[in-house]
Amino acid sequence: MICNRKTFLILAATWLFCGWVQAAPVKKIYNVLQYGAHSGLSGNNAKAIQQAVDAAAKTGGTVLIPAGNFVTGPIILKSNVELHLADDAALLGSTSRMDYQVSTSIISAVGQKNIAVTGNGIIDGRGAEVVQDAIMLLRKGVLTDPEWKIKRPTEHSRPNILLFLNCTNVRVSGVTIKNSANWVQNYKDCDGVQISNIKVQSTCYWNNDGIDIVDSRNVTISNSYFNASDDGICLKSERADGVCENVSIINCTARTSANGFKIGTGSLGAFKNIEVKNLTVYDTYRSAVALETVDGAAIEDIRVSNVRAANTGNAIFIRLGHRNTDERYGSFKNVSISDVKVEVPAGKPDIGYPLEGPQPKVPPHNLLPASIVGLPGHPVTGVLLKNIEVSYEGGASKSKAHISLDSLNTVPENATGYPEFTMFGELPAWGLYIRHAADIDLQQIKLISKDGDFRPALVADDVSRLRIDQLDVPTSQSKTVVVLNKTSGQQLTHINLPEGDSAGIMIQQ
């Protein structure tokens, strides 16, 4: 065969391409129907689905949940297996609590790598039904739980939906996750987690955090929606030597009966290099953004930006407490929260949830401000708030609660209390309250009270090196708008107050 240079190059490219195609393995599909799974609303397909997973794990492959309803108990994912839910596929958690003996999660993996849950289908935990079955078993003594009669069955008695422990390269995308009896999804001690384009709809029972990242590294959560009867997006550290590190949360929305984005409450180890960007929060009972260390954790290099929150109980809550019984105290370093706009209503913002957040166990109080609060001798340090606008409905009344400016020390420390913005009861400011803090930068802060409030807009108590540049309080019922109590090293520039800078600022020792 006569072959010129052009023909030779075409043939060579074709041979190389064909060789590449042959060399690139195509993932084998393991349809659960081939392993005995049956669609419908009865039965339990856990055995058939597990057989498909075990088969796929031998060489790596995709386990397919086809269109239809498939009831299942616990499924244990294994390395190099992708569980894919087809369009119109629904994986339904068993409503029999006794089916969750192998694992208290519908889908779990321990110590695995390269695992995934993907597709446009639905995973429905049917949490309300399984809790009712658990309560019946508790009444009969089949299950034991010392707390269920006092409050509700503990988390150990209620299954969650996804649990990945000590796994590497985890991917969850596209799926809708519904109706968990407990935490919706928990990624604990993992390295390399990618969550994208998922939808969480879980308001059927308590402790329904939309997503929990616990002592995990290199995590991305993007383009996802969380509607949960607890915190929306939550980072935790449950070991003194644990750390949540290199976490990015981008383009997400949270509707919750607790906090939109939260670090804590579990805060034993550390949180480092966390980025939250483009977050929308609404109908949220507690805080749009909450950063809490109460068990000794270090919180470092945190960047939160571009947050929009409406109908939200509180804008920003930053707390250093001491709930742990040892001598360790938490710390803050290099925390930046910027480009935030929040609307705080007068009423309870999560009204209408099937399970609303509980009323605070503190005396009656007026609307509460954003707050940065440490402890005596253990200040919150290194926090920047920039381009923040918070609009409050207002309407406070002294007959409901009142802390006079000469009794600021009556605000309780509550060092061991559960951290949430209501934990101190009434506060002496309506816009921003800072106590036991150092190296605090406030830039381009606007505080609005629509219906007025008798309290000052901003109170700083026991603060060192407070820098305020561009504070705007358009209206104020109180002639005293800013109070600096036991505060040193302050720098105040471009302060815009109704009565003028000098008239509206009170400095007291």
pTM listed for this prediction: 0.93
Tokens of 142: 């089949």
Alpha carbons 289 and 131: distance in angstroms, whole number: 30
Residues in the chain predicted with pLDDT less than 70, given as ranges, are: 1-25
What pLDDT does residue 25 have? 62
DSSP lists the bridge partners of residue 350 as none
Of residues 330, 424, 438, the one with CA closest to residue 381:
438
Residue burial 467-479, b: 16+ Cβ < 10 Å; e: rest: ebeebebeebbbe
pLDDT in tens, 338-373: 999 999 999 889 888 787 888 888 999 999 999 999
Tokens of 499: 């009565």
DSSP string covering 134-174: HHHHHHHTSS--TTTTTTS--GGGS-EEEEEES-EEEEEES
DSSP string covering 38-68: --SSSS--HHHHHHHHHHHHHH-EEEEE-SE
Q: Contact, 467 vs 489, CB < 8 A?
A: no
Helix runs in 391-435, H state only: none
CB proximity list for 61: less than 8 A, separation 6 or greater: 27, 28, 29, 30, 55, 80, 81, 82
Alpha carbons 298 and 274: distance in angstroms, whole number: 12
DSSP lists the bridge partners of residue 386 as 338, 443
Tokens of 7: 């023909």
Tokens of 409: 């020390």
Tokens of 280: 């929308």
Q: Contact, 195 vs 221, CB < 8 A?
A: yes
Alpha carbons 203 and 224: distance in angstroms, whole number: 17
DSSP lists the bridge partners of residue 165 as 110, 188
Helix runs in 60-106, H state only: none
CA distances from 508 to 61, 117, 185, 249 (A): 69, 58, 49, 41
What pLDDT does residue 327 have? 94
Q: Contact, 120 vs 99, CB < 8 A?
A: no
Alpha carbons 68 and 479: distance in angstroms, whole number: 66
